[in-house]
Structure 1
Amino acid sequence: MYRTILVDDEPIIKKSIAKLIEKKFSHFEIIGEAEDGQEALELTLNSDPDLIITDIRMPEMDGIELIREIHKLNKGTHIVVVSGYNEFDYAKQAIHYNAVDYLLKPVKPQELYLTMERVEEKLQNRDRYKPENRKWLWDCKIYSEEMVEYIWKGRIIDIKSYLTNVHNSLLNNDLDLPVLRQFYIDMLALIRNGLIEKIGDKPVLNRLNVKDIPDSEIVSFIINIFNEIIEFIQESRDWSKYSKVNSALKFIDNQYSDPELNLQVVSREIDMSPTYFSRQFKEEKGISFIQYLTQLRMEKAKDLLEDVTLKTYEVAEMVGYNDYPHFAKTFKKLYQVSPNSYRKLLNNL
């Protein structure tokens, strides 16, 4: 049963919502009612509800303040706002604190039913994705094994792309922030174990003993940790035979916008034959020179596409493509979406 609290200073509103829920959603149990935010907060602390349906304007503590306080608790409680005020600022604040929906009074049964279906789906996803479940353990294992290999080989571009995909996949499961944080904590612990097998229990790996994950910029937070570990691995391993490859990487990172940049140009810069350099590069990075250059240019293009003042053909030129159709085709092949469509997706976020 999903534990539910109703918060409103109008008894008739609470009674009508309770009847609608009891009529169609047997998995939800009304465990308490409150007349204001303060009373609701006390109920929440004592009963740990799965769902709170609350009004906005109430005495003592209003609905927005209640939502804010519940958000701070990080208990994964879902919030639905029911208000008689069709004011954008209220709705904006409610969404900021992850309210599932903002319904207007008088509440139409069909609207409430649709919202309750969304809440139920989120709660079911939460229950399926718990630390004790096999899917959780399996995903942690698969993701961590892949990350260990990327870190060991210093493939930071692949790490960023892979971790972003992992994060999006987790978000698609409607995981609450506390659950999402715990997943990453478990995954990082497995990555630490995998790296210990390769380099021993070095102090730098303690960076993976994370006790908390920030609310935002989670991917960047984790990548920064990985960067520190990669730097340590590169310094401690025998990198003498790879020194020229590292010089090549720096050269590529500085010259990727040059449309004339190719294997021959880079190998000449570091005084290696193209054939030998190509072999050494793939051995070190795990991908070919052209794959690395393409991925680097596409990642830079994604960043530039966030700047709406730049036209897409200008972005193409800035990352080394004079032929826009070729750029667009390459971008779509890598990300399954065209540059223009990617920009539209960014604007809709």
Structure 2
Amino acid sequence: MWKLMIADDEPRIRNGLCKTLPWADMGIEVVAEAENGKEALEIAASACPDLMFVDINMPFMNGLELIEKLHDQNPNCLVIVISGHDEFSYAQQAVRLNAFDYLLKPVQKMELSSAVNKALEVLMKDRVEQKHTQWMNNKLEFNAETMREEFFSKWITGKLTKEQFEEEWLFFQPQFHGKISMLLLKPLGKVTANAPNKIWDPSLLEFAIKNILSEMLPQLPISTVFSAEKGRIAALTQISDLTSIRAVYQEFERVVMTYLGVSMLLTHSVVEQLEQIPRHYEEMNQELMRESALTPIVMMTKKYLETYYYKEDLSLSEVAEQMNVNATYLSKLLKRDLGKSFVDCLTDIRIKKAIQYLNDPTSKMYEIAKKVGYQSQHYFSHTFKKMTGVSPLEYRKRGDY
């Protein structure tokens, strides 16, 4: 229904206009009346009429002032002046203020009907044009996003020449500068036998994961999320605080597991310069391919260890129970696929996590030891030196992370 408002200081005129035409049959609803220009402007702000009948001679604010202010407040509202003044100067001012029509009192029913029908034609045409414009804008926005994803995908996978990259980079203007964190992931199946048993359509799963990641990254500086190639999702984020970025990645992985019921192979790297990104992508993609080649049980075991490495009493038997396999069988699989025992696998993960924590100079050594599953700081330092060749303190001083 189109919304009609009537502004006239004479109740008799307002009442007559309300009854002159079969408004409901014409698809029109009389939503409000006003007896002066000031009141009409205030009511119009909330009623948002599509069409308004306006008298010229009204108290507090005359009809011409109302039309002028209404144009700024509700530019899409069409105004039909219905006035007792037949002076040309009034009609001229009304036309200058973009009034749709100017009728003289007493207005004839046929004359009013004709003016209203013409107004409805304009309103309908404007609404169709607005919908078409919105549709076009949505298409352009969608296509721009598709083109942007295609650019980033081709760039990091090395499919753009230097000239193509420089030209398109200026067009998309992703204001990256300084160090960049690059995340690459591949969705997997269930992480444990207890995970939800939902089978996802691959494209729908990719869409859901990208949405989650896109919603979590805006808390960081400049970032972008896109599909790198089939089965791969990438994110580039400008680094201000590496610890915060890692925390977001960890929370993102938890959210995906909780709400989508799937785990992911996930790796990230710090890139010093933009031109290094394609090389980093190739190295990270190779890492994902190696991980993907593992048997599902070994892959899920690694994910489980990467999730619960902080538990001091984490044992082979506990993990085997989570995987629904015999502990001896799991131990043999780890040795066969990774060339390592369960303890060595867990230690590798704990030391890698410890290296990440060492990046925060406010973290005490005993705190880091506890965070990665070691009750004893001395045993942690001994294990760390055995794995890296230097103590945690020496490693932090060297700044190798």
Name the TM tier (shorter chain).
0.3 to 0.5
- Which has more radius of gyration? 2
* Bigger fraction of residues in strand: 2
